Structure formats: structure tokens, C-alpha cells
Chains A and B, each alone.
Chain A
Amino acid sequence: MKAAVGALAACAGVFFAFLLQQALPPIHVLHGARFVLVPMILCYAAMVLPFPAMLLAACFTGLLSDLMYLNAVGGRVEIALGCSIVFFVIYGCIANGFRPAYLRGHWWPVIPLSVVCTWAFLFMQFAMISLRREGFVFDEAILWRSLAPGLLAGLFAPLLHAVVKPFAALIPENPWSTRSY
């Protein structure tokens, strides 16, 4: 029951995070870096939820991400549907490995996990489009646009924990009180 509610909440959170990202303008002082909140939410969900629920959330996140950013020009697709699913499933599995620590009350791994996941997601997108185009280009703007959203996600992760924890406690089978895993 708790896992099902958690998975649905994670999917809803990811959906609204996509909409929120759309509403937030780029940060010009950070070379046009944007707020990328979705990987952070998935990281948190992957740490809290059991494996099957995490898989559902990762699959949903990847599918939504691919559909949002599918760029098909002249009959060519740069990042095919399904690529982000694989990325989020792999990263979800890594984050899910921290679940025992989370159940013991150590929530802080979500911060480095969010930073790395957000940066890795953006860098994966950049690497894939670079492979499709004419080789790699690297400058300061690219560094900022992939790194800054990760750092911002790291700043927002404790806030997410503070918001989600009281709600999670309202549902039966509270994971914070569960010691067996």
C-alpha cells in the first residue's frame, strides 16, 4: 500500500517538476543554466521506495523526459525514446542501494546523489547530441549549463526532504519507523 502510494506520488511529483521547470526562466548569470528538478525527485523517490516502485517511477520519469525533449529534425531523432528510461533505471538502482541508510534515518545521501544525477543526466544528453552532430565542442557555457543545475538540485534536495517527510508520516507503514528491510 505504502509503496503504491509512494510510486504514484513520485510520478505526480515528476510530472509537476517538469511543468515547474518549464515555468522557470534560465539563469543568465550562470550562462543560461536552467533549474532541472526531475532527477532530484527521482533520486529521492529511489532512496525512499522499494525496488519495484522505484522501477515504475524511473520508467515514468525516463519516458516523460524523452517525450519532452525529443528533437526530430529532417527525419532524424537525436535522443531516441527509451534512452532516458535506461539512464534513470540505472541511476535509480544506484540510489536504491542507499535505501537501508535512509531507513536508518540518514537522508543526506540524497544531496550528492541529486547533484551527480542531474549533472550526469544533462551531460549524457550533451554527449549523445555531440555524437550525433559534428564531434564534441566544449566551453565554459557547457560546463555551467550541466554543472549548475546539479548544484542547484543539491541545494533544493534538503527542502524536498523537509516537505515530503511529514506527508510520508501520514501514510500507514511509515518507513522512518521501519527497521526491517
Chain B
Amino acid sequence: MKKLNIALLLAVLALAVYLSVLSPAAMQAVQGKFLSILAPFLRTGTAVQEQIGSMGKGLKTLDEVEADNRKLTEVNRVLLTTNNLLREIEAENNRLRLALEYRERSVFRLLAARVISRDASTWWNTVKINRGFEDGVETDQPVLTDLGLVGKTTTVTKSESIVVLITDETCRVAAKVEGTREQGILSGMRIQESGTSGELQLNFLTKNAALEAGKNVYTAGISNGVFPSGILIGKVKEFRTRPLDGQAIVEPAVDISQTEDVFVVVGAK
């Protein structure tokens, strides 16, 4: 081998070693800059992927459209009635609130975001959203929808962020089970079955918990944790007893493969 080739090889390996000893924050900064450059291409790529994936899905027969229409009209009537009732209750609630001088209940400030890219990697479950530090997003902020928890932000660039989903094994959440005193650590599976909403594992439960299927699982909200308390994560699907603890298999409340609009919890109101 020529001396020049050996020198080049050593230079490349030295570069690899230098990059590998950078701090995680520095690596994320480099990745952030790279993703900012790549964002327009990734958005186009995802749009194409969605077009390919949805090919033929939107086609329905006339009978199916009519059935859908009947069902939606019925749902619409129910919702209108409920809405009118709730409006009256809201007005009454406001009157009572004023009368009693109650403080407004502290709720979280939500920032609406759109999923711009679903990760095309084999081993990780992440999505990219169209909000970055310019919009007030920071690392480790919870991401949710009206149905429940989605994940948390990791790398944040100027106008995009990466969200690691709760279906990923690295996203760990302190969780509690409705109607019990059971608490544990919830995470995704190493491999999620393709084309499904995925499964989660709730570990470190007591062995004799014997949780029933269908019970809701919520975030437990530990101090200095990422996730506030009381966000719905999913429903218990199955309970297993292991040698040292109990494990519940949880079905996520949000089907992330179908979700397009999410909210980032950017702080308290």
C-alpha cells in the first residue's frame, strides 16, 4: 500500500475517533445543523412516502360513502346537542368562578406542531415536527395529542425538532395505573411490529398486581421529570408475572403512525 494511502486512512480514522469523543450535546448540535440543511429534502421525501403509502387507501365505493355520511350526520347531531349543553354549563361555571374568585386552573401551554417526517431508520421510532427553538421548543419537552402522550423532543434545530416516540425503547416514562397504587417505568419495545400502533411495556410493578385489561395508564409525573402527571398513555392489554416483578403490556392511546398534528408542552400557563 502506498504511503499516501496509509496517511489518508489514518487521517480518516483520526477524524472518526475525534467525532466519537464529542459530547452528546455537541453531537446534537452538529446533527441539528445538518438536519436544518436537509429539512426541505426530507419534507419532500415524506410527502412522497405518504403518497405511496396512501395509494388506493382513499378509494371507497358509493355505498361506503353513503354509510359514512349517515354515520357522520348522526355523530354531528349528537355533538351539536352536547356542545349546546356544555356551553350553558361553561357560562354557569364562569359565573360561579367569578362569584367565588377562583384562580384560573393552571394548565400547560401547548404549541401546535405538524409531523413533517417519519423516521426511515430500521431500529428507532422517531418523527420530525415543524417546530424548533425559534418557536420556543427545547430539548426534553413532552409531545402529546388530544388522545394521549406521543413522546418527547430530543434534538431541536431552528425550525424543526426530533421527537422520540413512547414506542421507542429509549423513551422511558414514569407511569401509574388507574384505580390502583401501581407505578412503574414504561418504555417501548426494541422492535415494534410493522403497520400497527405498537406495544409498550410497563415494568417494575408488584408481582401480585394482577391488572385487568382495559385499565388506563397515565404519566406519574415524578419531580424533575420530563412528563407532567395525568397524561393518558394507553390501556393495559395484558399482565405478566416475572420472577422479580410484574409487567403490563400497554396499548398506546395514540396511533402514532396515523398522527399528523401534535402539541408540544412548552411550559405552564
Contacts and interface: CB of A to CB of B under 8 A. Distances in A.
What is the size category of the interface that chain B forms with chain A? 35 or more
Interface residues of A, number: 56
A145 B20 CA distance: 26
A120 interface: no
B9 A70 contact: no
Interface string B144-181: 00000000001100000000100011111000000000
A71 B170 contact: yes
A22 B170 contact: no
Contacts, number: 148
B52 interface: yes
B31 A67 contact: yes
Contacts of A22: 41-42, 45-46, 49, 117, 120
Interface stretch (B103-111, B191-199, B205-213): B191-199
B87 interface: no
A77 B27 contact: yes
A122 B191 CA distance: 14
Contacts of B42: 19, 22
B18 interface: yes
Interface stretch (A106-114, A125-133, A154-162, A170-178): A125-133
Contacts of A28: 194-195
B122 A122 contact: yes
B78 interface: no
Task: From A63, A68, A78, A126, name the one whose CB has the most chain B CB atoms within 10 angstroms.
Answer: A68
Given A62-B16, A69-B121, A72-B24, A81 B170 contact: no
A63 B35 CA distance: 13
Interface string A22-38: 11111110011110100
Task: From A21, A73, A76, name the one whose CB has the most chain B CB atoms within 10 angstroms.
Answer: A73
How would you classify the secondary structure of chain A's contact residues: helix, strand, loop or mixed?
helix
B61 interface: no
A36 B193 CA distance: 19
Contact of B122 (A20, A33, A85, A89): A33
Contact of A25 (B8, B52, B117, B172): B52
Contacts of A63: 19
28 contacts: A19-B44, A19-B45, A20-B45, A22-B42, A22-B45, A23-B52, A31-B193, A32-B194, A34-B121, A51-B8, A55-B5, A71-B164, A72-B31, A73-B171, A74-B172, A75-B24, A76-B24, A77-B27, A81-B19, A81-B22, A82-B15, A85-B12, A85-B15, A86-B13, A122-B122, A133-B170, A141-B191, A142-B191
